[in-house]
Structures are given as C-alpha cells and as structure tokens.
Structure 1
Amino acid sequence: MPRLLPALAAALVLLATGANGFRIEEASLATIQQGFGNGSLTSVQLVRFYLDRIRGLNPLLHAVIEVNPDALRQAARADAERRRSSGRYLAAGAGGILHGVPILLKDNIGTRDAINTTAGSFALLGSVPPRDAGVVSRLRRAGAVVLGKANMEEWANFRSLPGTDGWSARGGQARNPYVLTASPCGSSTGSSIAAAASMAAVTLGTETDGSIICPASLNSVVGIKPTVGLTSRAGVVPISPRQDTIGPICRTVTDAVHVLDAIVGYDALDAAATVAASKYIPHGGYAQFLKKGGLQGKRIGVPNGFFNYANGTVQHTVYQQHFYRMWLQGATVIENLEIENLSVILDSLNNGEQIALPAEFKLSLNSYLSDLSNSPVRSLAEVIDFNNAHPVEEKLKEIGQLIFLAAENTTGIGAMEKAAISGLNKLSADGLEKLMKEHELDAVVTPDSALAPVLAIGGMPAITVPAGYSSSGVPFGLSFGGLRGYEPRLIEMAYAFEQITNVRKAPTFLP
C-alpha cells in the first residue's frame, strides 16, 4: 500500500485541474457556478473531471458503486439550457446553484434511469423503481446531474448485529480517505468518502440512526440529518417510517444547506410525514440562516456522558478549545447537563427499538419491493433466501443476517410493537426534549454521532461539522442537535462554528 501512495498523489495533481485552469478539488457550488458563468467551465467538463477522479480513486476507496452512463448527456443538456437562458438558470434560489452540478446518491435512493438501486446488495441488482425517489425528482427539477450511486453499508447496516463498517457486496469495503485503515463508518459511507475526496460536487445520504452523522464526522465533511418528514422518503429503500430521513453530505455547511433547500417539501407519496414537517420549512428557505454571527445569543448544552476524553488527548484539548471559541462568539455554553434515562436510550437492545424496528422494516421493505419492476426479490423472505443461495458474494458466514431473520419473524405492528413505540416516544419526551425545553437550549453538542440514538427516536435533526484530527490523522466532528424543526438555529450555529474554526482539510490518504 505505501508504494501506491506517491503515484496516487501525482495522479491527484493531474485530476485536480481541468480545462481552462479550473481547479476541481474542493470546489464549492459557488465556485462551480462562477466557472459556469465566466465560461471557464462547463457541466460536461465538470462531469468528465469527476468521472476521471472516480476512475483514479475508486479502486482505493470503494466509494462509488456505479456511475451513470447518462451523466454526460444530462450535463450537455444543462450547458445548452444555460446558453439559451443567458444566465437565467442562475437566478436566486437552490435550483439556480445546483443547475448542471453532478451529485452522487446513496445506493438506497431510487432512480428511474440506467443505474441500479440496490442498497449495496446483489439481491436487488436489475430491479427497476417505478419512478425517481421524491428527493431525486426535486434535484432533477433543480437541474442537478445524477452522477451515479455511492457505496453504503449493505441494507443500511440493518442486516446483522455485527454490521459491516462500510462494506457492501456490490461496492466492496469502503475506506477512509484520511487514514485508509480507519473506520469510515456507515451507512452513508460512500457518500461521505466521495464528498471528502472530491469525487462529486455534493452527495446525498440517508439516516435512521447515525447513518449520516457518523460517516460525515469520521470523513471530515458536513452532514445534515433533517427532521423526519422534512425530506420525502418515497422511493428510498426503507427501514423505519418513524426514523428514516434523507439529507445532504458536503464539504461545507453552505453547500449542504443549498442541497437541503432543494430537497425539502411535500410529497404526495410520503404525505403524512411531509405534511406534518412542512410547518417547519421557513419562508425564503434555509440559506438565509448562513450567518457568521450565528452563535451570538445561542444557548448550547453539553450533556454528560459524551466528552469522556482523558486530559492531554487531542480530542479533549480540541473540544475544550471549541467550547471556548463558541463562548467568545457570544454563545452561552452550559455544561454538565443530564439527559434523563440516557443509558436506557443508548441501549438499542433494551430501549424498545429491537421490538419496533424489525416489524417496521419488514412492513416497509415488503411494500417497497412490491412496487418494483423486474425485481429478483419481492419480499424480505426472498431476500433472505437470496442470501442463503449466494453465501460467498453476500459474506453470509462472516456477517450473517440475524436482523433479517428476526424481522421476518414479526407479524405487523401489534400490541407489543405499539407499546415499544410508545416507550420510545416517552424516552424522547422525558429525555432530550424535556432537557432542551427546561434549559431553553437552542442545541446540544456531542462528538461525532454520539447523540444519534437520542435524536433518532424523536425524529430530531442534527448537523455535524469537522472538528479536528486525532494524533494519527483520523477526523472527528462536532454535532449540533436540536428539537424537531430547529434546522434554522442549527444552521446558524454550525455555519458560524465552521467559519471561526476552519478545521477541514483535504484527505491525506495515509496508509
């Protein structure tokens, strides 16, 4: 592996600079649109840059499962639209800033086109969704180019208890671009790696319990986990309608917020959730909350039980410095707060999730599969049979499928499942929700995805921002979490924090 790295570094220098001197590596949406506007860049050139970069890096990182054979044609159409409109496609709003921009989608986000949607599994290879996922339809209307599908932990890490740490049968073992032997986390693994390594302008992930926040943190990018229902889940391979959400993973808070603006809103195919959450969408969108003074006057809680780093460690020192910086920016940082029943909430084997989630998964997955065309499998039972018939490809001996088997043994949402869901709701109401209301908090902060289970059971949002790098070079993040609909406050704080710390750096590809 070490012998490969000098050649990789040389290749990256060539890949980073494209036509007319435009530098692709780390390019933001604003920079890309500036290139479109001044003629130094076209969408076709940009797509070619990313395709070349994927060809160069993917054998090492395994971040991308499949590229879209139609991407260049989509890019050419965007260029033609831009020429005809004389700039009208760059009008105010998220649609303007995403026009002609390539985006990678996590492989559980459905597209009705030439690329597959498989959740990383060979069991779904060749299946055809009846339509684009709701968020994909919105991205297409905004003019984005679907570049391809990103690798992910197979079945969003809901196949077995051990998990796969960024592995899927179709995509292989994904690798952290900062330290190749470090965990890349999951399940939105490939989306986070691709964003970090500039294999796409922006990416999209999904989260049920930490699947955006964890890989974004460990790959030094920004991830937004929206309030459940703020973004449509229609056309996405599901786990739980109570907890599933779709969100952006990008290199900056600004880019992530522009993508969020493009994908939020009502969807008739996910009506109940999107109607309930639509009241949270602010008039004028989310980009208005990108404020450098966004920490001023904010009340930020630091719950006990998360920042347990020994004195002298990099993490302990860096997080303490960050709290001090937030205080200097006018935030009130309140430490030593207790989330009621935290140990129970964090214990997924005993908090009720082990009863609720498998039943929800079986119902949701069977419904999704029944809507597909030409699918090799039509039910969870058939997926289980497929894995049994392909034990080598699906690493059945090493990984197993215990969660699948438990889910298949459920019989719907009965009294036991309803009691478990009620218990989870109570844990959320008496825990973080009560704490934030009593202390009038705008957010709580935790390292990486430590708060993910607490937020998951309440359908609450979070944003993670790069916070630092360990002594061995592995990234870690700081997550801002809040109550349902708190995205405007979280964006203000996350953006201001990003601007005053400026932590993120490009991947190092250390062996």
Structure 2
Amino acid sequence: MATECQDFQIEEATITAIHEAFSQNHPTCTQLVDYYLNRIETLNPILRAVVEVNPDARDLAKLLDEEREKARENGGVLGALHGIPVLVKDTIGTKDKMGTTAGSYALMGSVVAREATVVERLRKAGAVIMGKASLSEWYKIRSIDHLPNGWCARAGQGVEKTNEYGQDGFIEAEEMHGNEEEIAKIVEKLDILCKEGFEKMMKENELDAMVTPGTKAIPVMAIGGYPGITVPAGYDENGIPFGMLFCGLKGTEPKLIEIGYGFEQSTLARKPPLFDSSEWHED
C-alpha cells in the first residue's frame, strides 16, 4: 500500500488541486485512496474518528482511474468530485458492504432499504465513499479494529459503556406504546412549536440565518427539518476545536453556504490539525 503520493502535497489540498494532479497521474485516485487508508490506519487507534472503512474503496478508485483515462482519450466529461475520497457520517445510509449504525453496536448487521440521496449524488459526481465517520454520541465506542464480518469494534469497552452511562433513555423508549392518534398529536404539537417558534422568529425579524456557537441548536433544526451548516470557529483552552452553526428556513441552503463561506474567509479561524503522536495516550 502506497503511503506517499510522490511530490504532491495532500494536506490542505483543494479539490481543484487534486484534479489538476490527477490530470498528470501524480497521484492517481488509487494512490490517493491508499494514502488515506494508511492515514486512517495510523491515526484512528487514537482519534477513533472512522467507524468503518469501505472494503471496496481501492477497487472503486481503480475504476475511476480507468474512467479518467477513457475520458482523456475520447474527451468525456467527468463528475465534479471524480476520484475524490469522502467519508460520510455513520447515520447516512449506503447500499454497499458497509453498515449504517450511528456507531452503535446495537445496529450492527442492519441493512438500509436504499442509499441516502446525498450518497447517490456523491457517487454520481464521481466521489469514492471511503468509509463511515464516527458520531459524538458514540465517540470512542467503536474503532477500526476489524471483526471477521468486516465490522469494527473497540474490544474491551462492555460495548456501549452501558455500565457507566446506563440505559434509561433506551428503556423509556422501549416502554412507549403510543397509538396512531397519540403520535399524530405529538407531530401536530411539534409542528406548531416550529411554526410559532423558530419560523416565526426568522420571518418576523426578516433574518437570513440564526447563528449559535457549537451544535446545541441542532435538535431544534432536526425537529422541523431545517437546514444548518457548521464551520470552524477556533479552539478552546484545551485545544479542542469548536464550530459556529448557521441555521435557516427550509430551502435556504444556498444562502447558508454563502454566509458560512463569508464567515470562514473573514475570520480564517480554521487551522490545520497537528498530529504529534508522542503526546497521545489512550484512556
């Protein structure tokens, strides 16, 4: 497995820069995927950011390299993300050899009915789905240690730390037996809260976005299906990165991306992460 992509500087490279490098085969998509697989293998035992690696990632990369060669010969048009490796959050369904578990052992082996729309669009654009990224809810629960069936689990961690954190929420959910009428009332109440709360605030004040530090407002957005984008905002006193969340009404994704980009360009808050393994230690 290649660990270097010759003279190409991968860290902080843009998609445009990667495509320009692809045009000269320095690196190829396969070499780039190999590089990232090596980085995951090196860093993940400590960071535990990747729940699972796509076992078909290298084969997909080879196919994309072949597509690029054919496009050179016949002048074909390639997708905007052709050959770009992408990790998706482990709540996003992929219809492949990977699972969709939200990082939870309880959902290991589950099969999604179809791929998420965002994954379909990523594949159509030519991206390589490299694997599944962990969630903050299950951080450090699962890692890249492979089980025979291809799934990954962190050995010796009683799997979801149930003894440490309890199961109150799961038990309460299991004991709920709401009928259709009760469920309809709950949905109606949530709809009213959205319209009289977030939507009313946004419309009456003619706001483009609601801005909050961190991610605590995400549940409010999720209830109403409102879009939001989080961009880097700096580091706290412990060196932990945090973001700024921009939320809007349905259909305002373009505006939120514009605002988020403007924030990034004006603050330049994001800094490349530093990986000094000599300072790391496992819990």
1:412–1:99 Cα change, 3 Å? farther
Matched residue, 1:25: 11
Matched residue, 1:108: 91
1:123–1:419 Cα change, 3 Å? closer
Q: How does 1:65-144 map to 2 (within 5 A)?
A: 65-86=51-72, 88-90=76-78, 96-129=79-112, 131-144=114-127
Matched residue, 2:148: none
Matched residue, 1:378: none
1:24, distance to aligned residue in structure 2 (A): 1.5
Alpha-carbon distance in 2 for matches of 1:29, 1:504:
18
Q: How does 1:313-392 map to 2 (within 5 A)?
A: 392=158
Contact 1:461 1:483 in 2 (8 A): yes
Gaps of 5+ in 2: 145-156
1:398, distance to aligned residue in structure 2 (A): 1.8
Matched residue, 1:272: none
Matched residue, 2:143: 171
* 1:291-313 CA-partner distances (Å, limit 9, x unpaired): xxxxxxxxxxxxxxxxxxxxxxx
Pair 1:439 & 2:167 matched? no
Contact 2:48 2:140 in 1 (8 A): no
Contact 2:53 2:132 in 1 (8 A): yes
1:36, distance to aligned residue in structure 2 (A): 1.1
Alpha-carbon distance in 2 for matches of 1:408, 1:397:
18
Matched residue, 1:259: none
SS at match of 1:119: coil
Contact 1:43 1:75 in 2 (8 A): yes
Matched residue, 1:48: 34
SS at match of 2:27: coil
1:476–1:392 Cα change, 3 Å? closer
SS at match of 2:100: coil
Letter in 1 for 2:127: A
SS at match of 1:117: coil
Letter in 1 for 2:175: N
Q: 1:403 aligns with which of 169, 172, 185?
A: 169
Letter in 2 for 1:114: K
1:471–1:408 Cα change, 3 Å? closer
1:106, distance to aligned residue in structure 2 (A): 2.3
SS at match of 2:264: helix
Alpha-carbon distance in 2 for matches of 1:487, 1:140:
21
Alpha-carbon distance in 2 for matches of 1:167, 1:19:
30
Structure with more relative contact order (C-alpha pairs < 8 Å, separation 6 or more): 1
Tell me the number of residue pairs that the alignment of Structure 1 and Structure 2 aligns: 264
Percent identity among equivalent residues?
A: 50
1:131, distance to aligned residue in structure 2 (A): 4.5
Q: How does 1:119-268 map to 2 (within 5 A)?
A: 119-129=102-112, 131-153=114-136, 157=137, 164=138, 166-168=139-141, 170-171=142-143
Alpha-carbon distance in 2 for matches of 1:150, 1:452:
18
Contact 1:466 1:475 in 2 (8 A): yes
SS at match of 1:463: strand
1:126–1:440 Cα change, 3 Å? closer
Matched residue, 1:466: 232
Q: 1:489 aligns with which of 245, 250, 255?
A: 255
* 1:202-251 CA-partner distances (Å, limit 9, x unpaired): xxxxxxxxxxxxxxxxxxxxxxxxxxxxxxxxxxxxxxxxxxxxxxxxxx
SS at match of 1:83: helix
1:142–1:120 Cα change, 3 Å? same
Contact 2:81 2:127 in 1 (8 A): yes
Matched residue, 2:184: 418
1:74, distance to aligned residue in structure 2 (A): 0.6
1:465–1:131 Cα change, 3 Å? closer
Alpha-carbon distance in 2 for matches of 1:30, 1:133:
26
1:80, distance to aligned residue in structure 2 (A): 0.4
SS at match of 2:11: coil
Contact 1:43 1:78 in 2 (8 A): yes
Alpha-carbon distance in 2 for matches of 1:479, 1:124:
29
Pair 1:457 & 2:206 matched? no
* 1:111-158 CA-partner distances (Å, limit 9, x unpaired): 3333333332334434444544443333222222121222235xxx4x
Contact 1:152 1:167 in 2 (8 A): no
1:492–1:109 Cα change, 3 Å? closer
Contact 2:231 2:243 in 1 (8 A): yes
* 1:236-270 CA-partner distances (Å, limit 9, x unpaired): xxxxxxxxxxxxxxxxxxxxxxxxxxxxxxxxxxx
Letter in 2 for 1:463: I
Alpha-carbon distance in 1 for matches of 2:18, 2:260:
23
- Over the aligned positions, Cα root-mean-square deviation in angstroms equals 2.7
1:412, distance to aligned residue in structure 2 (A): 4.0
